[in-house]
Structure 1
């Protein structure tokens, strides 16, 4: 075979290889384009609130102070989206931003439903007049409700709510088994404790030995009640004794 014939055969082979290569590349690009188009179309469908709407939202959990209107407002962002592109974390944050909601969980349920579970705050006491303290000693802000007006009044410096609540529970347990109820407890910036019983008696406990000083009050109370006057204040900051302030009578007030 001559060199010219070999050259023609090589050229034909190269043309055939180039044709296969071009055909393969064209097929590959077609597949990639097809996958991209399908992905884009699928993305549009999944994010189309009209094509895949949220058909139902089930709200569970005991609620006393969180209204349906507040929940609906918090869920507006979810309802504007499709079932798949609704941001569950954003909705959870919006629900937990409601004043009386302590915790919220949001999850999808196929094919077009969301389940919302709410846990409300459990207020144990008023805190610094305008706020509340919950069962974990955490402070939160929410509107007043008539059902909670009689909760104890706690007060103290910023960051002391958990300590004040703990001391309140300890003191009130000791007082209640002896027939008294603690209406309020205040911790001063100097870390001194001041209590008020539900019968109006004000007790200055100082900074130390709170429990023993309350026990001293319980022990001497029957003796103090023998007086014709009513107790106004009792100062228990002394190591062994106490000082009593008596309520003024109407005659004394007129002077």
Structure 2
């Protein structure tokens, strides 16, 4: 008797599992009737996603849909989920860019350049360099920017020349020439001179600081031609103390 009950129960379970599998198979083959686009997206970005979805087979595997959407360079992450019985949800995470690149594109924190009009970046610094230097420039921007930020200085532009020379322009429009080598040491010299000039209330008049000298920094002031003899003498004393050359 027990054996029959067990046998009957086993058959019932098998029948139930079979019916469930058939139901899932039927649902899985149901036509997709709606797609939900999820994410903090602009209107133009939503239209871009819609156009791509209309151009592909949304009945395809989720991985296929994901790969097709990731081909849009402004998209960083895509998550595709089936919403039973006949819908899918597409979650989009746009790329986060940290700077403009050569005035015709954007660059992210990994040094990848994106040329697209679907990113609203706003007020970002500008990074400049020859083709192939994107990751190097981004790495330098993160390194030098971190040092300067700790001193209350924000990089507005960072440029690497074709010959490998580096130039910084700060948010206050001060140009810092660092050259090719010993960038950290030269930046430290710039900061030392800047601190002294700031204590002398001269910081707002600085136009350019050239730290490429071996033992000093050359400073150019925007009102250099209209200085009184007293101010010139005071600056000469500062320069002599720090090994600064006035341009």
* TM-score normalised per structure 2: 0.69
Structure with greater Cα Rg: 1
Cα separation, partners in 2 of 1:181 and 1:141, compared to 1, 3 Å: same
Residue by residue, what CA displacement relative to the aligned partner does 1:77-102 show, whole Å, maximum 9, x if unpaired?
34xx573xx36555434423435212
Distance 2:129 2:44 in 1: 28
Asked if 2 retains the 8 angstrom alpha-carbon contact of 1:229 and 1:247, the reply is no
State the shift of 1:244 in Å. Answer: 1.5
Cα separation, partners in 2 of 1:250 and 1:55, compared to 1, 3 Å: farther
Distance 1:204 1:161 in 2: 20
Cα separation, partners in 2 of 1:144 and 1:188, compared to 1, 3 Å: farther
Residue matched to 1:183: 156
What SS is found at the alignment partner of 1:158? coil
Q: Does 1:72 align with 2:46?
A: no
Residue matched to 2:179: 206
State the shift of 1:239 in Å. Answer: 1.5
Aligned residues: 198
What is the aligned-residue RMSD (CA, Å)? 2.9
Asked if 1 retains the 8 angstrom alpha-carbon contact of 2:107 and 2:113, the reply is yes
The aligned runs of 1:58-97 (5 Å cut-off) are 58-64=36-42, 67-78=45-56, 83=59, 86=60, 88=62, 91-97=65-71
What SS is found at the alignment partner of 2:55? helix
Residue matched to 1:135: 109
What SS is found at the alignment partner of 1:234? strand
Distance 1:140 1:118 in 2: 17
Unaligned runs of 5+ in 2: 1-25, 228-247
Distance 1:82 1:130 in 2: 34
Distance 1:230 1:96 in 2: 49
Residue matched to 1:163: 136
Distance 1:117 1:248 in 2: 55
Residue matched to 2:94: 120
Distance 1:57 1:127 in 2: 35
Distance 1:88 1:228 in 2: 58
State the shift of 1:106 in Å. Answer: 3.4
Distance 2:105 2:122 in 1: 12
What SS is found at the alignment partner of 1:126? strand
Cα separation, partners in 2 of 1:137 and 1:66, compared to 1, 3 Å: farther
Asked if 2 retains the 8 angstrom alpha-carbon contact of 1:74 and 1:91, the reply is no
Asked if 2 retains the 8 angstrom alpha-carbon contact of 1:65 and 1:100, the reply is no
Distance 2:171 2:43 in 1: 26
Unaligned runs of 5+ in 1: 1-45
Distance 2:146 2:170 in 1: 13
In structure 2, which of residues 169, 193, 201 is the aligned counterpart of residue 196 of structure 1?
Answer: 169
Asked if 2 retains the 8 angstrom alpha-carbon contact of 1:77 and 1:91, the reply is no
Residue matched to 1:104: 78
Residue by residue, what CA displacement relative to the aligned partner does 1:183-238 show, whole Å, maximum 9, x if unpaired?
11111111110000111100100011111211111111133343498111111111
